[in-house]
Structures are given as C-alpha cells and as structure tokens.
Structure 1
Amino acid sequence: MNGLDTELVAEKVAQSRRAVAETDGVDAWVTFCRETDAVPEPALPYVLGFDVVWPTAVVIGPEDSTVVLGRHDAPNAEELGVHEVRAYDESIAEPLRTTLDEIGTSGDGPQTLALNYDADDDTADGLTHGLFRRLESLLPDREFVSAGPIVRRVRGLKSETERQRVRRAAETTEELLQTAASTWGPATTEAAFAATLHELLDDRGLGTAWARDYCPTVHLGGDSEVGHTLPGEHTLPEGELLHVDFGVRRDGYAADIQRLWVRGEPSAELRAVFRDVRAAIDAGHEVLEPGVVGHEVDAAARAALTDRGHPAFQHAFGHQVGRVAHDGGTLLGPEWERYGDAPRGEVRAGEMYTMELGVDTEWGYVGQEEMVRVTDDGTEWVVPPQTRLRRLSETD
C-alpha cells in the first residue's frame, strides 16, 4: 500500500477510545516507542500507521487522543488527521506530561496508564525494557499496567475494512494455490513448488504471511519431514499427498490456509484419515462461538481426533489471524504453560480464527487449516473449506 492508511487508523482509534472507556481502572492507553523501523511496535499500524524515529507516545483516552512525537515525524501525523499532534524538539517530557494531565484520572489515586507490554501476548508486548525505564523516570507519579486487554480487543475485533482485507488475502491464497497445483508434474520438487508460488506472488507484488523461506511450507509424500520446514528435494510418489501451508499478505493483512492434493487414486485408508481430520475440525468448529473459552474449542477438536484412534496434535487448534498469521489474543489451544493465559480468553464476535490439525501418515501429512470469522451467533467461513481430497493432474 502507498500513503497513509487514514481510513483504517481512524476506525481503529475510534475503537481504541471505546476500549479505554470500557476498561475498568485505566485512564489512558499509552503506546511508547522509537526507531520503529529497527524495533517494530505491533500496535503502531492501528493507532498511527507509520514508523517513527524519535521517542513517540500515542496517548488514547476514553474520548480523544494525542500523539506526542518528534518535529520531523509530525507532518505525517498532521496529515493523518486522527489525533491532536504535539511535536517536540529537545524532550518529550513536558508535552507528554501535559497531555496526560489533560486526561486526568478517573479515580481517587494516581493516574493509571496501560502500556504496550504483556507477559503472554507478543502482539501487545512492543515496549522495550529501556523505554519502560525511561517512562518510569519521566512519569514517577503514575501507575502502569499492561495494555494487553485493550490491545486484544482492538486487534481482535476486526473493522469492516479489516474483514475485507483478510478475506481478499484468503481468496488470493486459494487462487494461487490452485494455480501452482495446476503446474505440478512428477518431477516437481518441494523447492520447485515453493518457487512457483513465490513467482506468482512477485508477479502481483504481494508478500507472504510469515517468513518467505518457509511460506509456503511444502510437504511431498510420506518421506517429507512435517513441521515448519524449508522446502526440499522430495518429489511425490503415486498415491501420496502434496500438503501446503501457505498465506498471502496483501494490503497489510494476512491469510493462513492448509490444502491437500493426492497423486493418483487415494487408498481407502487415506480417505478414512482425511475424513477423521475433517470430523475433528468440524467438532471444534461446532463449539466455536462468542463466549466460549479458547481451550474448550481445542478440547472438542482434540477429543474428536483421539477418539478416532489418532495421536493428539502437539500445537493449538486455532489462532487469530489479521495483520500477521499469528495475530495474538485468545488462542484456541490447550492450557499448556507455553501458551500462558491465551487459551483462557473468551472468543468474541468480530474475531477471525484459523482451525488446524493433522495426522502424519505413510502417505504424507493429512493437514488441514481453515479460516472463520466469529459472528454474533456462530461463525462464517472466510473462504470455502476443503471437504474432499483434490487430485493432481500430471503436466509435462
């Protein structure tokens, strides 16, 4: 995208003000950052939309917002037209304190500021330790709490602009996968298949949803090592699977989808495993609705798979998707230590999730991943799910 994303930032800042107003015990949300080209701040695309150089504070209160930033960054903020802009030359201290004093405090104690740090959610944890220490010295009379709950609401609840962008990314992902599959031949390697998708992306000026080296992740047949692997030199034997995990990033938003093709006629046993995988995904999908807790969705899918005699998958069943493939917030995962509190969050209408699991077999990895948007009374597919094994047509 070129230029400032004014419409999107205006949508998300309005959402941010509502989130602050409805968060008990918080007077303002402060996103504090600097040199964001070198050290990206995950919230900045939502609340400002461009990188900054000098120390910068985006201060969002329940009714209005102000950005305090260096004079050379200020013209972009003025053009954005979303915040009051306070530019400085030598020190951020005085304009930042003035801005916070104008917001005031909602209680009898010191002003409480929600800052951009969080113990479990990387998308809410952009504040470096050095900048935190600087804020402590600049604002010794304020109390600090994590802005994680606010960030999860703002990042998770997709605006109409965001919904459309994620949908377009998913539709493009499906289209490019189908195009790449149509070029497959018996001599095609994992690396060659990945190169085809990269060429299709480059032709359209699109990016990958995660690191390009293993986006797509391509597995050909039962001898391919499953996981976040780099594409290798495997080719596809008769009756075995092409498995691809892939996502396009366009207009700043990502998709994350897994699809399967089989070379020739699949065995009855392979068809049965595919049905089991689909049944497990459907089991999780059936309980995914507003108000359900993340680990409850994971448990439903996990039980459906193990009840059919397959081993449990060693990852979360689903995650949010948005600006990146793994978009933080509530996780549809088990209550494992590595996930912290993310699986204990509640699902909310407006969030967008993947649902993924698979079984490693002699024919290859039977992995599926779908994308859904949570609605007021359930979910809707972002793109149609894969409900049958697709066949590869051999080309010269």
Structure 2
Amino acid sequence: MTLDTALIGEKVEQARRAVAEGDCDAWLVFCRETDETAEPTLPYVLGFDVVWPTAVVVGPDESTVVLGRHDAPNAERLDVHEVRPYDESMETALRETLAEIGAETVAVNYDRDDSAADGLTVGLYRRLQDLLPEREFVSAGEVVRRVRGLKSATELDRIRAAAETTVDLLGTAATAWTPETTEREIVADLHDRLRARDLGTAWAWDYCPTVHLGGESDVGHTLPGDHTLGQGELFHVDFGVRQDGYAADLQRLWVRGEPSPGLESVFEDVRAAIDAGHERLAAGVPGHEVDAAARETLIDRGHPAFQHAFGHQVGRVAHDGGTLLGPEWERYGDAPRGEVRAGEIYTLELGVETEWGYVGQEEMVRVTESGPEWIVPPQTALNRL
C-alpha cells in the first residue's frame, strides 16, 4: 500500500482551517469496515481502509486519529496526526482527545442534500451518541464542502492530467472510427485503451463512456447499442477517466461530413448558453444563478430547457458533491443555493436533441478570484470525421 502523504497533509491543513473559521469546535470522521461501507471523506484525512471503529478528530490547530492497534502503523507513517491506538475500546482515547481541544460542538458526517458529506450511517451515529452523550453533534456538511471542494495544488494537477488524458483518448476513438463502427465497438475500444493504461472511469464502468451515434440513439446515461453514424449525423460522447485518484468529465462532438446549416445553428446556440453560464460563474454567486444564465439563454434561442443541473463539481469522482450549478428544484435540496468558491472545479454542461443526434457539450472550469479558467481548451466548433 502506498500512502498519499503529501495530499493528505494538504487536505488536513485545509480541514483545520475550515474548523477554525467555522461554527464547530472539531470535525469528527467516525467510520468502520470501510471496504464494505465507504466513508467519502476518509481518502482526504487518512487514505486507507479500516476495519475497527475509527475516529479522525480535526481541531483548529491539530488532529488526532483513534484507531485499532493493527492499523496504527499506517497512520503513524502519514506523519500528519497524533495517533492513539486502542485494543478493547476507543472510548477513553476519544473522550480525552475531544477534551484536550475543548470540543463541545462536534461536526459529524451527515447532510440532508450532499452525499459527499453524508457518510455516517444511522447505526454509527447512535453508537457515537452512546460514546459521547454529553457532546452536541451538528452536520459537518460545511466543513466537508470546504475540504472536498477547494482543490489543493496536488489535486488541481491531477484533475488537469485526468482531463488531458480524457481528451487524448477521445481523439484516438475518433481516429479509429469508420462508417461501420457501432456504439458498442467504440465503448469496447475505449475500455481496452483504459485497461492498457491501468486507468479507471469517472463513473460506473458500464456507462462510461456514454456514446450516441446519430438521431436514433437514446439520449442519457445509456448503454451502447448497435447504431452506426449516417452522413451529416453526430458522434456524441460523454467520458471521463479516473487517474491517480481523480476524475474528469467532458463531452465532445464530431459530425460525419459537412454539417447542415441547422446543425451548425444549434451548436452555436448550445455554445452561447454555456458561455453565458461561464460568464456568470464567479466566487460568491449562488449556484442557481449560474444555471439560470445558461438556461435562459438556451430558451431565448428557441430551445426547450434541459432537465438537469447546468454543472456539478468534479474531484475524486465525476459528481463530487457540494454546491450545484442547478435550478432550485426539490430534488436538489439546498445544493443550488450554495455559493461558488474560488478553488472549486465545475462542469458546464447542456445539450439539445436534434434529428442529427444529441448536440451535447460539457466543459470543465476552475473558479479563481479573477474568474473561471478552462481546465482544458473548450470545443468551440464541430469536429469533422
């Protein structure tokens, strides 16, 4: 096992700042049997799976991990936390840790709307109440959103590399295409290339990449079929690799032969809507306002509204939690009301179904204090096959 010590050091330092600037006295990540039930934040603060009940306690100035004795050597190798091993019970060590930092209000990993901050199971929550009946527990959602959303220098480098690899592999898929190539064959070819480079996918393997050839192909996160590409039709692909623990999420388009004026016009409308969202995206802006800018532009150009959020954060997975660039629909809870922060990475995505195929575009941007910057160059014109 290789421990990602530099990255964990960066993220734990961010976590300490988040606690110091927040409304809690400590952040407590409580987990067990993480190979069976993963804790989404554990890769940021520990970096390896545990079996026994384990507590990572992050205060404003220091952090401690209380864990089973046989896991302790791995934690000590990190050289990030104070390590307190136990054999029969963690109760004494955990109580002492919280008492030493004066932690009365403790943030734990539950959240109504953010799956990336909701790793604590009901059973573990009740066990924690039994261990610490005198403590006040609050949601760690805000802490997690800062730690997970604000990308460190190492994370930015890895996400950019994953995006560049994704673009490279998409180029090879287009080069390998022939008029007889089916969706199924394109997916199989990309999967073979991923295996050869020991890379994973940014979402479920069976659905990544998602490939649509022409107007008869069903749009969405669909399995590949036997469609081929007709003259003037679109080759659309939604794809992202997972590389060195981090993901990318991009959509690209090719047209067979010369596009019709109608197709060119729709592509321009889609790009205009993405550019409108890109222009509105800035630190401090609520996510739903970014979505509205793109949505209204597309509707004003005569197209139906897309039935999904305009953008989501990207990190260890394609959908990385936190603030959503989406409409204020019930299904999204409070995620679209969160404010965009400098240091977060988002997708900008939407599309229009047409007779030529799905005109779908998805880009990746990093928010900076001076505005958004593209992770990789955007697609600004239809590619030709």
| Aligned counterpart, 1:359 | 352
Secondary structure, in 3 states, of the residue corresponding to 1:312?
Answer: coil
| Aligned counterpart, 1:14 | 13
Cα separation, 2, equivalents of 1:344 and 1:250: 31
Instruction: Indicate whether 1:157 and 2:164 are aligned.
Output: no
| Aligned counterpart, 2:253 | 260
Cα separation, 1, equivalents of 2:340 and 2:292: 15
Cα separation, 2, equivalents of 1:376 and 1:49: 30
Q: How many angstroms does 1:249 deviate by?
A: 0.4
TM-score relative to the length of structure 2:
0.99
Q: How many angstroms does 1:159 deviate by?
A: 0.4
| Aligned counterpart, 1:86 | 84
List runs of 5+ in structure 2 lacking aligned partners.
none
| Aligned counterpart, 1:30 | 28
- Among 37, 40, 62, which residue is 1:39 paired with? 37
Secondary structure, in 3 states, of the residue corresponding to 1:73?
Answer: helix
List runs of 5+ in structure 1 lacking aligned partners.
106-110
- Among 359, 364, 367, which residue is 1:371 paired with? 364
Cα separation, 2, equivalents of 1:156 and 1:200: 30
- Among 26, 51, 60, which residue is 1:53 paired with? 51
Cα separation, 1, equivalents of 2:279 and 2:99: 49
Q: Deviations over 1:108-150 (max 9, x none)?
A: xxx1100011110000000011000000111000000000000
After the TM superposition, list the runs of 4 or more consecutive aligned residues in structure 1 that deviate by more than 3 angstroms.
Answer: none
Q: How many angstroms does 1:68 deviate by?
A: 0.3
Cα separation, 2, equivalents of 1:328 and 1:340: 12
Q: Deviations over 1:61-87 (max 9, x none)?
A: 000000000011111001111000000
Which letter maps to 1:14?
A: E
Cα separation, 1, equivalents of 2:110 and 2:90: 20
Q: Deviations over 1:24-60 (max 9, x none)?
A: 2x11000000000110000000010111110000000
Q: How many angstroms does 1:94 deviate by?
A: 1.1
- Among 87, 92, 98, which residue is 2:96 paired with? 98
Instruction: Indicate whether 1:348 and 2:346 are aligned.
Output: no
Q: How many angstroms does 1:187 deviate by?
A: 1.0
Q: Deviations over 1:277-302 (max 9, x none)?
A: 00000000001011111000000000
Secondary structure, in 3 states, of the residue corresponding to 2:257?
Answer: coil
Q: How many angstroms does 1:264 deviate by?
A: 1.0
Which letter maps to 1:32?
A: F
Q: Deviations over 1:243-277 (max 9, x none)?
A: 00000000000000000000111100000000000
TM-score relative to the length of structure 1:
0.97
The CA RMSD measured in Å over matched residues stands at 0.6
- Among 71, 74, 90, which residue is 1:73 paired with? 71
Secondary structure, in 3 states, of the residue corresponding to 2:310?
Answer: coil
| Aligned counterpart, 2:299 | 306
Cα separation, 2, equivalents of 1:228 and 1:75: 42
| Aligned counterpart, 1:108 | none
Secondary structure, in 3 states, of the residue corresponding to 2:215?
Answer: coil
Cα separation, 1, equivalents of 2:296 and 2:51: 50
Cα separation, 2, equivalents of 1:41 and 1:178: 35
| Aligned counterpart, 1:200 | 193
Identity %: 76
Cα separation, 1, equivalents of 2:372 and 2:211: 29
Instruction: Indicate whether 1:245 and 2:238 are aligned.
Output: yes
Cα separation, 2, equivalents of 1:239 and 1:61: 59
